[in-house]
């Protein structure tokens, strides 16, 4: 199921606000997600890690991340 740009923006905001810890994007969602991602005001703090089958897991790098 493909989610629209507004829904991806909501998910990115949830990631930023620590309401969710990660956002998993599948290959068939990527092009729609990319539009929301490119318009997201703090996208440079969003880190993506690719895994098998083209799945990307995004996390948000906050100032108090101790994992950096």
- The 3 state secondary structure assigned to the chain is CCCCHHHHHHHHHHHHCCCCCCEEECHHHHHHHHHHHHCCCCHHHEEEEECHHHCEEEEECCCCCCCC
Which pLDDT belongs to residue 63? 76
* Distance in angstroms (rounded) separating the CA atoms of residues 44 and 26: 20
pLDDT tens per residue, range 5-63: 899 999 999 999 999 999 999 999 999 999 999 999 999 999 999 999 999 999 999 87
In this prediction, residue 64 has a pLDDT band, given cuts at 50, 70 and 90, of: low
Which pLDDT belongs to residue 3? 66
Considering the entire predicted model, what is its pTM?
0.85
- How many residues in the chain? 68
Close Cβ partners of 4 (under 8 Å, ≥ 6 residues apart): 32
């Amino acid at each position: 199921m493909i989610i629209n740009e507004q829904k991806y923006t909501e998910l990115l905001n949830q990631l930023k606000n620590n309401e969710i810890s990660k956002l998993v994007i599948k290959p068939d969602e990527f092009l729609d997600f990319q539009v929301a991602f490119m318009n997201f005001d703090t996208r440079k703090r969003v880190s993506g890690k690719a895994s098998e089958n083209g799945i990307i897991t995004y996390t948000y790098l906050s100032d108090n991340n101790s994992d950096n």
